[in-house]
Amino acid sequence: MSFRVFSCAVCGRPFYEYDDPNPKTWLKNFRILFSGPNGVSVSGVGQHNELFLGYFSAHWEYTTRWDNPNTGALDGPIGVLTQSPISNRHGFLFHEACWSLLEKIYQPKPIPWSRLYDVCKSMPLSKRGAVNISWGHDYGGLLLSDNESFYPWQRRVFNMSVDRKLRLSASMDPMCGSNIEQLLHEQPQGIPFMDKDHPTAQVKRSVDVFSRLPPEIRDIIAYSLSVRDAANLRLASRSFFSVFANQQFWASRFSPDSDRSWLFELWNKRGYKAWRWLYRRTDDACLSPALRNRKRVWKLLEHLRDIVDLQWKENSQASISHVDIPGLKYRKITADVRLETPSDTRHYFDEGCRLLRQQNVTIPPQLSQVAVSTVQVGDIDYVSGMRFVSSEGTVTEFGYWSGKKIYSTDVTSLEGFNVATGTRGIQAIQILDEKEHTSQWLGSRDECPKTRYLVVSKPIRTIEAGFDACKMISLAVEYEDLGPIDRSIEQTKSLRDVGYWYPEVPGRDLYLNEYSNVVDTCYPDEHRPLCWISFGGPGGIYLKYVKGMTITFRGDILRCVEFIYEGIDIPIRNRRVGRRALRGYDKVFYFPIDGPGGEIIDAVEVMLANVDENEVHDSFRNPVLKAFRVLTNRGRRHLQPPLSFVYDELKVIKIAPGTTITGFYVGQHPSLGLTSLGVISEVVKR
């Protein structure tokens, strides 16, 4: 039996409020979206009465309720979230109120149960505190993210917000509509506003092209805009100056998919006259706690609907070989894909993504355009699908499409991709043609690792894309093998060209000195980002300001290396590698360096040790970094940490002759800390 506390897939609140004296509180009522012997179903409404009761039992028939005496005994428990399936049934929890709001959003259409289940299944689980689906957002401010301990693409551990006002509103039933009736009976307060017939609202037709449109057409245009866009339009065109005096404009704010769509009781309200006042009255600062929670949950549901409503483009064509064969070669990059096993309980699926679908597509011989569709999942935009358009106009689409966010570029040939990818999926793609000209990035490239591994500089014949339920999570290419010269290039390919680099791929003027365990632990078909800093700055311009370096350990785990400067403010991305939030039990070691006096680091030794694979639940490569020693040009050396420990291997990192160490690059694991260390050097003018 599990003794964890579980949360709603939508609102993030647990299914029990221990200090709530009401035994029928909305927080206890639930539905389960589950997969069973008969496919995907939704349970009836059950009630969870004990904080640490491990199982959720309900009637399996959707129309039933726990408090209906005519429905008989409950059908039995269903495994949820991190639990194992029970009677081949496993699913995800929703508050009854949150599910009812989702039905309102989809009204008059039904909720696509199977699609919703697949989307939930694609998301990792957060187990910090109550177990919930880790969408990558903060549940509308309810949770706080730890951005100090993790890079943006890694899992961000969430803690409960300390905002009492927000936590109070989040405990209120979002389906409660009594506050809305009270609002409608309040006496509207006058809002001074210029009347339509005011002289300054008159339009000179010679200076405003919109004045030629009939008023009804101008109204339709205004109704389709947000309030902010309508305000900007008023500034640009005096024909729309009086739109804010139009009560029908404000009434349109309360329609589905508009600013106040979460007030669904007002969608078909007739006879009401004070819409502009009501819009002001339902501003965030004026809302009751229950309506504030309604708005929070509604926005989360709209975000979820955008993901669920993605359309799958079935367009699988030629097969692709997963190994090199005569005449063809194969390369693949991937997000942090976690394989699902028959006995998988999802207990260890706390980061990364699931592979649910694959497609193989033949590249048209004569290209004219490449486009990608993107979808926002949590706080990040991901590539969800791709489209190739031939010069004859033939369109090949695959993956998931919504039509809301599309990036495109004109190309005539395809010989490679630069790819930006986090642990949960591919975020952006850049196209390279036969002359290695690069397109703009298609998607959101910021704050995630990039790789050049799919830049093949040969005609790409076929691509294979892997997907979860909403986004692309892997991309492979099959291209022509042009003979012995091409194979020799493959064998000498640099870590620069095969690794996943953050924040950018290092430039060609930087030497990576590939003699450490970084090379041993870097495999292109595994998502193992390399994070690097240039503590010496371009051409070593910061070296004379270096005052020292600090190394942070948590127990025997190396977490972070940071350089200290004197007389200059250096950006964090140049001076710190590794993420860490300092805890009281962390140990920080300091090594002074006399940069102003000309002292520099001129050698690095790394100590490596094998780690028991049972200590972590995702794949990694042994040995891993345990400590390192720096040596300076003054003969000083410092071991990090300065204490005795056991290691299995010592490596001395050799740098290119005539160069100076100006940077570090590391591999980082959420549990093991910094797992590898390499040095960057460059030619520095003295």
What's the pLDDT tens digit per position in 244-254? 888 888 999 99
Rounded to whole angstroms, the Cα distance separating 260 from 286 reads 14
Residue in 12, 260, 27, 294 with CA at minimum distance from that of residue 138: 12
Q: What is the pLDDT of residue 488?
A: 44
Residue in 22, 104, 17, 94 with CA at minimum distance from that of residue 62: 94
| Six token digits for residue 420 | 């930006």
For 79, the enclosing helix (H) or strand (E) is: strand 76-80
| Six token digits for residue 170 | 């989040």
The mean per-residue pLDDT over the stretch 515-526 comes to: 66
Rounded to whole angstroms, the Cα distance separating 158 from 169 reads 19
Rounded to whole angstroms, the Cα distance separating 290 from 179 reads 8
Sorted by where each begins, the domain ranges of the chain are 26-170, 184-291, 312-492, 529-682
Which of 66-75, 165-174, 606-615 reaches the highest mean pLDDT?
165-174
- Compute CA distances 91 → 31, 40, 94, whole Å: 10, 9, 10
Q: Which residues of 104-205 form beta strands (DSSP E)?
A: 125-126, 132-133, 143-145, 158-160
Tell me how crowded residue 279 is: count the other CB atoms within 10 A of its CB.
18
Residue in 112, 80, 110, 106 with CA at minimum distance from that of residue 94: 80
Q: How confident is the model at residue 532 (pLDDT cuts 50, 70, 90)?
A: very high
Is the pLDDT higher at 488 or at 100?
A: 100
Q: List all residues 6 or more positions away from 239 whose beta carbon is below 8 Å from its beta carbon.
A: 203, 208, 210, 211, 213, 218
- Give residue 632's Cα distance to chain centre: 41
Q: How confident is the model at residue 191 (pLDDT cuts 50, 70, 90)?
A: low
Tell me how crowded residue 561 is: count the other CB atoms within 10 A of its CB.
23
Q: How confident is the model at residue 195 (pLDDT cuts 50, 70, 90)?
A: very low
- Contact between 290 and 179 (Cβ < 8 Å): yes
The mean per-residue pLDDT over the stretch 139-161 comes to: 77
Cβ neighbourhood burial of 140 (10 Å; 0-12, 13-18, 19+): buried
Is there a shared CATH topology between the 312-492 domain and the 529-682 domain?
yes
504 three-class SS: coil
Q: What is the pLDDT of residue 522?
A: 66
Q: What is the pLDDT of residue 205?
A: 45
Q: Pairing between strand 158-160 and 624-632? A: unpaired
User: In which region does residue 262 sit, left (phi positive, over 0), alpha (psi from -120 to 50) or beta (all else)?
Assistant: alpha
Average predicted confidence (pLDDT) for the chain: 84
For residue 374, the cross-strand partners are 383
Rounded to whole angstroms, the Cα distance separating 622 from 619 reads 10
Per-residue pLDDT tens over the stretch 298-314: 999 999 999 999 999 98
Q: How confident is the model at residue 489 (pLDDT cuts 50, 70, 90)?
A: very low
- Compute CA distances 664 → 261, 370, 567, whole Å: 51, 36, 22
Rounded to whole angstroms, the Cα distance separating 476 from 201 reads 59
Return the percentage of the chain with pLDDT > 70, whole number: 85
CA Rg value for the chain: 29
Per-residue pLDDT tens over the stretch 442-455: 999 988 999 999 99
Q: List all residues 6 or more positions away from 70 whose beta carbon is below 8 Å from its beta carbon.
A: none
- Contact between 681 and 511 (Cβ < 8 Å): yes
Q: Pairing between strand 46-47 and 29-36? A: antiparallel
The mean per-residue pLDDT over the stretch 44-70 comes to: 82
Q: What is the pLDDT of residue 461?
A: 86
Q: What is the pLDDT of residue 430?
A: 95
Q: List all residues 6 or more positions away from 33 whose beta carbon is below 8 Å from its beta carbon.
A: 9, 40, 41, 42, 91, 92, 94, 113, 116, 117, 120
The mean per-residue pLDDT over the stretch 272-290 comes to: 89
172 three-class SS: coil
Return the percentage of the chain with pLDDT > 90, whole number: 42
Question: CATH: 3.30.1280.10, 3.40.50.620, 2.60.120.330, 2.100.10.30. Which one for 529-682?
Answer: 2.100.10.30
- Residue type at position 49: N
Residue-by-residue DSSP string for 303-347: HHHHHHTPEEE----S---SS-BTTEEEEEEE--BPPP-TT--ST
Residue in 590, 580, 516 with CA at minimum distance from that of residue 549: 590
Rounded to whole angstroms, the Cα distance separating 614 from 635 reads 41
**Residue 151: half-sphere exposure toward Cβ, Cα within 13 Å:** 31
For residue 325, the cross-strand partners are 328
Is the pLDDT higher at 17 or at 414?
A: 414
- Unique residue bearing structure tokens 């993030």: 12
- The values of phi and psi at residue 33, to 5°, are -85, 115
Tell me how crowded residue 602 is: count the other CB atoms within 10 A of its CB.
15
Residue-by-residue DSSP string for 280-296: HHTSGGG--HHHHHHHH
Rounded to whole angstroms, the Cα distance separating 136 from 471 reads 14
pLDDT of 201 > 60? The answer is no
| Six token digits for residue 577 | 């590698």
Per-residue pLDDT tens over the stretch 385-413: 999 999 898 899 999 998 788 999 999 88
What kind of architecture, by CATH, is found in domain 312-492?
A: Aligned Prism (2.100)
pTM tops 0.85, yes or no: yes
For residue 663, the cross-strand partners are 680
Q: What is the pLDDT of residue 614?
A: 61
